[in-house]
Amino acid sequence: MTFTENTANVTESISALRHDLRTPINAIIGYSEMLMEDLIDKKETDFYQELQEVNASGYDLLSIINKYLQTSDKKELKSLEEFSVFFDQMKVQAIIPIEKLILDSQKLKQVETEPEVASDIERIDVAIHRLQELINAGMGYSKAKVIEEIRSINLADIIKNTDIKTSDFHVLVVDDNDNNRDLFQRQLEKEGYQVSVANDGIQGLDMIKAGNYDLILLDLLMPGLNGYQVLEQLKSDENLRDIPVIMISASDEIDTVVQCLKIGAEDYLPKPSNPILLKARIGTAIEKRDLRAKEKKYVAQINSEIDKGRTMQLNFLPQDEVGVSGWNVQGYFKPAYQMAGDFYDAFQIDEDYVAIVIADVCDKGVGAALFMALFRSLMRLFAKEIYDQNLASNPINYNAEILNAMKLTNEYVAEYHGSLTMFATMFFAVLNVKTGKVNYINGGHEPVFIINSKGEITQNLKRTGPAVGIMPGANFKIQETFLDYGDTLLGYTDGVTDAKTPTGEFFHTEGLISVVNESFPSASYLVEKIANKLTEHIGQAQQFDDITMIAVQRLNK
């Protein structure tokens, strides 16, 4: 490999060399400082001095590299040969700190420590020897060759890691300069790529829309339609946006290059382009494209499974209205994500009794949804079991007894899943549809309102016990109330009151009360009205939490 010896290549070589040398130095400094901080926290002094010396030598080397490899004060250099003088000076200055680092590293490796610390010390040792390799690279070669060897180290690694079957890939080169097109085409065809060329941005865009390319090399400055404009059109087209684009740029166009990277360009190549760099960046771009394709496929599979889970979760909600004469029951469920931890339930125990549940499982997403299914199933199962037992022995007073289903659910979750610290706030009531009598437990849930026919909140059913599933043996008190004709019981989760505007303002309990206080003809109307107000309040903001409501209205005679 040879370089055209001009100032641009000298500056580029200095930058590459500085980057390669600073990488192991950053590891030396970073790991030594981290270990010193750990020793201070543990109030230990073993091998602290050795770490200090390693750290100081690392900073000494960093200072030397910064001194000799600042490109801003090397712009007057005309060749790599001329720069090699500075490189030799740097090597001389680095000898003592590196030798000291090696000695200190040997001392550290002799210290008996726990495996984690020993692993970090080993990382320091590897970084020291890597640094020594870089500085000693190319011994026995010409001065310019030393720089070439160091500059090509990372590129060789990249090429090795992006070993692709080039004949399977079709590359389009878009450049208005004949020599540039010819050079890129010959370089790429030599590597085995299929190559097509376009004379300008307009022709390139037409070819991209009509063809099937795996990668595009796109020049920035072209007449008619420049590279930036072509890139904008590509990234705005759903069918073309995933084709990787590498911008071809001269060094004085760096600001525009940055803009291109921001709108979606994969990478950029300077002019003139080094063949090894060209090969490496094309290989990396294609590899990234393939990874994105795999990622999309994987995400699609995950979304498919989540959709199935969402469908199953919706099946856990009441599928049919509770058809009890003289009563109107209405639920509402809107998850913040694909799946939710909230749920409501209403099911008949027998012709006289209806169970009402609204709950909010902690957390959100899939985990909360799984526990939502568990809580809901346990509540129904235990309620039915208690009903069957009491019907035979005491058919008159099983109304309140059924509420023990919450206690049994709490014991089950706390005993078998306590390590997961999953719990649910829950309001559970059993309604006598003939008398309007309501026995309930509020397990750590939001207050449940009872609203009369005028829209006035007459009762606030506050908490009578802790959240369900937190601790075994929790005490849940059963309370009693009545729903008169025209009264409505309204339960909701905190997703209602915590709903946020785009500027972060909460809906609050006051916002809910303001809607409730307006007269409403039915439970269905009330729930729909609250939902509409929430939608208006949230606007363009992302929904903060699952939103769930249940309203039970005793109709007038």
Instruction: Write the pLDDT tens digit of every residue in 349-375.
Output: 888 899 999 999 988 778 888 899 899
**Residue 242 in domain:** yes
Same domain, 239 and 340: no
Average pLDDT for 457-465: 95
**Residue 29 in domain:** yes
Same domain, 322 and 467: yes
Please report the pLDDT score of residue 158 as a whole number. Answer: 38
- Domain end, chosen from 261, 294, 327, is at 294
140 compared with 329, residue with greater pLDDT: 329
- Assess whether pLDDT exceeds 80 at residue 527: yes
Average pLDDT for 220-226: 88
What percent of the chain has a predicted confidence (pLDDT) above 70? Answer: 82
**Residue 307 in domain:** no
Nearest CA among 496, 494, 492 for reference residue 451:
492
Same domain, 209 and 281: yes
Please report the pLDDT score of residue 403 as a whole number. Answer: 87
Same domain, 146 and 200: no
**Residue 236 in domain:** yes
Q: What is the mean pLDDT of the chain?
A: 81
Same domain, 409 and 491: yes
- Domain end, chosen from 120, 143, 161, is at 161
Instruction: Write the pLDDT tens digit of every residue in 316-348.
Output: 778 766 678 899 999 999 988 777 889 999 998
Same domain, 99 and 156: yes
pLDDT band for 160, please (50, 70, 90 cuts): very low
Please report the pLDDT score of residue 83 as a whole number. Answer: 62
Domain of 225: which CATH number?
A: 3.40.50.2300
**Residue 304 in domain:** no
Kindly report which listed range (119-123, 315-319, 499-503) carries the lowest average pLDDT score: 315-319
Domain of residue 87 covers 7-161
Average pLDDT for 189-196: 88
**Residue 28 in domain:** yes
Domain of 31: which CATH number?
A: 1.20.1410
Please report the pLDDT score of residue 80 as a whole number. Answer: 56
Structure tokens at 354: 């209806």
Please report the pLDDT score of residue 144 as a whole number. Answer: 43
Please report the pLDDT score of residue 482 as a whole number. Answer: 95
Please report the pLDDT score of residue 88 as a whole number. Answer: 66
Find tokens 């129904």 and name the residue. Answer: 380
Q: Is the peptide bond before 272 cis (omega within 30 degrees of 0)?
A: yes
- Assess whether pLDDT exceeds 80 at residue 73: no
Please report the pLDDT score of residue 152 as a whole number. Answer: 44
Structure tokens at 436: 């309007």
- Assess whether pLDDT exceeds 60 at residue 145: no
- Domain end, chosen from 133, 161, 189, is at 161
- Assess whether pLDDT exceeds 90 at residue 277: no
Q: How many domains does the chain have?
A: 3
What percent of the chain has a predicted confidence (pLDDT) above 90? Answer: 36
Instruction: Write the pLDDT tens digit of every residue in 532-555.
Output: 999 999 999 988 889 999 999 999
Q: Determine the Cα angle at 130 with ends 127 and 134, to 5°.
A: 140
Strands in 327-334's sheet, in edge-to-edge order, are: 327-334, 547-554, 488-492, 448-451, 457-461
Cβ atoms of residues 472 and 436 within 8 Å: no
267 compared with 457, residue with greater pLDDT: 457
194-198 and 170-174 beta bridge pairing? parallel
pLDDT band for 146, please (50, 70, 90 cuts): very low
H or E, element range at 392: helix 365-393
Please report the pLDDT score of residue 13 as a whole number. Answer: 64
Average pLDDT for 240-268: 79
Please report the pLDDT score of residue 159 as a whole number. Answer: 39
Burial (CB count within 10 angstroms: exposed 0-12, middle 13-18, buried 19+), residue 337:
middle
Same domain, 53 and 81: yes
pLDDT band for 142, please (50, 70, 90 cuts): very low
- Assess whether pLDDT exceeds 90 at residue 140: no
Same domain, 47 and 133: yes
Taking the C-alpha atoms of residue 272 and residue 202, their distance in angstroms, rounded to an integer, is 24
499 Ramachandran zone, left/alpha/beta (phi>0; psi -120 to 50): beta
Same domain, 200 and 322: no
Q: Does the predicted TM-score (pTM) go above 0.75? A: no
Taking the C-alpha atoms of residue 326 and residue 432, their distance in angstroms, rounded to an integer, is 12
Same domain, 535 and 446: yes
Same domain, 176 and 146: no
Same domain, 69 and 171: no
Please report the pLDDT score of residue 137 as a whole number. Answer: 61
